[in-house]
Amino acid sequence: MRSGNRVGRWVRVAALVLLALVVLFPVYYTVVGSVMGPGDIASAPPSLFPHRLTFDNYRGVLHAIPLQRQYLNSILVALAITVSQLVCAVLSAYAFAFLAVPLKRTFFALFLLTLMVPWEAIIIPNFLFMADHQLRNTYLALILPFLAGGFGTFLLRQSFRTFPVELRDAATLDGAGHGRFLWQILLPLSRPALASVAIFVFLSAWNQFFWPLLVTDSPKRQTLQIGLSSLNDAEQANPGLILAGVSMALIPTALLVAFGQRFLVRGLTAGAVR
């Protein structure tokens, strides 16, 4: 029996290692491809490691786009959107979960409806609004349309609803008002849910492409994703250059996922088993 268990364990480990390789290979090749010369990267069969290290691609990226500036733009915009959505989502989710608001279900349905409007359908009205108010090519244009979102409210409401009634009752008995309860009891205990909302919002803001492209004109106002796409030449493929750009853009998201993953998984499944 014991040996059977051990075999089973090894099979499991082998399968997990295999899956990990599948997931990690693109990341590996992104980094390795970025230090390959044009001859190395276009070889058949593809070489899995550089025969000669070159940092030309990195120099090329830094020459082609104002990378540092675009990095800052992306971080600034994504952070602003994340903080604002988090604040809105916490307050509205609190109201939906704990307050006796008339027509609560209707309002909540309206919130959910906003999740179902395809973004593509409102791009043009949004763009015309920005153009009419002379907001094109400003940070405001990048941030304004995303200050609030239904997703965070939905996720936090579900999480708040699973909050033990006893704790809330105890807080009320001790004389805690809404603000004190929210700030000192509910939020500290809802960290996983808050973290997952924050990570999701941050990542989707970080990865935005079409809207920033439409409302910005100068490379200095553009976000990193647009900078990256501009490395893509119309006439000839230059994979090394693009991989170098992607390697640099990958850092914040990779860190976020590496450190936030345990919150991410816990947050998504919170309330799922009830």
Partner 1 sequence: MKLRRTWTLTAVTAALALTAGCGGSKGSDSAGSTSAPGADALKDPVTVSFWHAMKGANADALNALVAKFNSAHQGKITVKATFQGSYDDTITKYKAAVSAKQTPALVQIYDVGSGFMADSGQAIPAQSFADVDKLDLSDLQPAIKGYYSRGDKLQSMPFNSSVPVLYINKTAFTKAGLDPAKPPTTLDEIRADAEKIKASGAAKFGFGAAIYGWFFEQLTAEAGKTYCNNDNGRTTRADAVTFDDPEQVKVLTWWKGMVDDGLATNTGRKTDDAQAAFKSGTVAMHLESTGALGGYVKAAAGKFEVATAPFPKVESSDTGGPVIGGASLWIGGPGHSAAEQRGAWEFAKFLIQPENSAFWHTQTGYFPVSKAALDEDVDKKWVADKPQFQTAIDQLAATPSGVPTQGCLLGSLPQVRALVENAIESVLTSNKDPKAALDDAASQAKALIEKYNASVK
The three-class DSSP label of residue 191 is: helix
Question: Least Å distance between CB 102 and partner 1?
Answer: 39
Please, which residues have CB within 8 angstroms of residue 201's CB and are 6 or more apart in sequence? 81, 82, 85, 86, 149, 151, 152
Task: Work out the number of other CB atoms within 10 angstroms of the CB of residue 171.
Answer: 17
Q: Which stretch binds partner 1 (CB under 8 A): 7-15, 76-84, 128-136, 265-273?
A: 128-136
Question: Least Å distance between CB 152 and partner 1?
Answer: 23
Q: Is 20 in the site for partner 1 (CB under 8 A)?
A: no
Show contacts with partner 1 in window 58-87 (CB under 8 A). Answer: 60, 64
Q: Single out the residue of 102, 120, 165, 272 in contact with partner 1 (rule: CB under 8 A).
A: 120
Q: Which stretch binds partner 1 (CB under 8 A): 84-92, 120-128, 171-179, 191-199?
A: 120-128
C-alpha 49, offset from chain centre = 30
Q: Single out the residue of 76, 230, 256, 271 in contact with partner 1 (rule: CB under 8 A).
A: 230
Q: Is 198 in the site for partner 1 (CB under 8 A)?
A: no
The Cα–Cα gap between 20 and 209 comes to 29
Show contacts with partner 1 in window 207-226 (CB under 8 A). Answer: 210, 213-214, 217-219, 226
3-state SS track over 193-204: HHHHHHHHHHHH
Q: Is 8 in the site for partner 1 (CB under 8 A)?
A: no
Question: Least Å distance between CB 59 and partner 1?
Answer: 12
Q: What is the DSSP string of 203-240?
A: HHHHT--HHHHHH--STTTS-HHHHHHTTS-SSS--HH
What are phi and psi for residue 270, nearest 5 degrees? -60, 130
Binding site for partner 1 (CB under 8 A): 38-39, 41-44, 46, 60, 64, 120, 123-124, 127-128, 131-132, 136, 210, 213-214, 217-219, 226, 229-239
